Amino acid sequence: RRTVKITSMVMLIVVGGIMFSSIFIVNGGDTMVSDVVKHLNLSPAGIILMFLAIVFLLGFVLDWISVVLIVLPIFDPVIRAAEIDPVWFGVMLCIALQTSYLTPPMAPSIFYLRAIAPREMTYGDMYKGVTPFVGAQLLTLAVVAFFPSLATWLPSVLFGF
């Protein structure tokens, strides 16, 4: 019974994300985003930074399924037009999303952990505790950004991307 309830909630989130991105695309939202990015005259690095910042901010307030279902269909045409490797971008998107889940002030992961943490542990203690992990995530993101083959080598060997 509980499993059905939780699965139903997850499926509602998935359906909501798919509906939002589908309606957005049908109404020309993806074209609008592409046009805005073209008019900004950003380099591929600028496009990546802008999109990762958007994903990072969305990760504060939305779960990962919603973020992925909403932004990927919108970002994909722009990423491909800028000739950015979609596998590399996807890996960086995932790292940015993971980082946003640990980063205060919202830090959804900390709220999940709070439910199982000892009563004497405060949110401040938890924020201090995740700081090294946020730093490690940001370092990982920088390394993958500067060395794309770390993200693309294995998929290229396995799948020929």
Residue 115 CB neighbour total at 10 angstroms: 6
Nearest partner of 79 among 111, 55, 108, judged by Cα: 55
Task: Give the whole-angstrom CA distance, residue 2 versus residue 136.
Answer: 36
3-class DSSP state of 129: helix
Say yes or no to pLDDT of 146 above 90: yes
The predicted structure's pLDDT at residue 112: 82
Task: Give the whole-angstrom CA distance, residue 72 versus residue 55.
Answer: 10
Say yes or no to pLDDT of 157 above 80: yes
Radius of gyration of the chain (CA): 18
The predicted structure's pLDDT at residue 14: 86
Task: Give the whole-angstrom CA distance, residue 118 versus residue 122.
Answer: 9
Average pLDDT value over all residues in the chain: 92
pLDDT-derived band of residue 67, with 50, 70 and 90 as boundaries?
Answer: very high
Every domain of the chain and the residues it spans: 2-159
E strand or H helix at 23:
helix 2-26
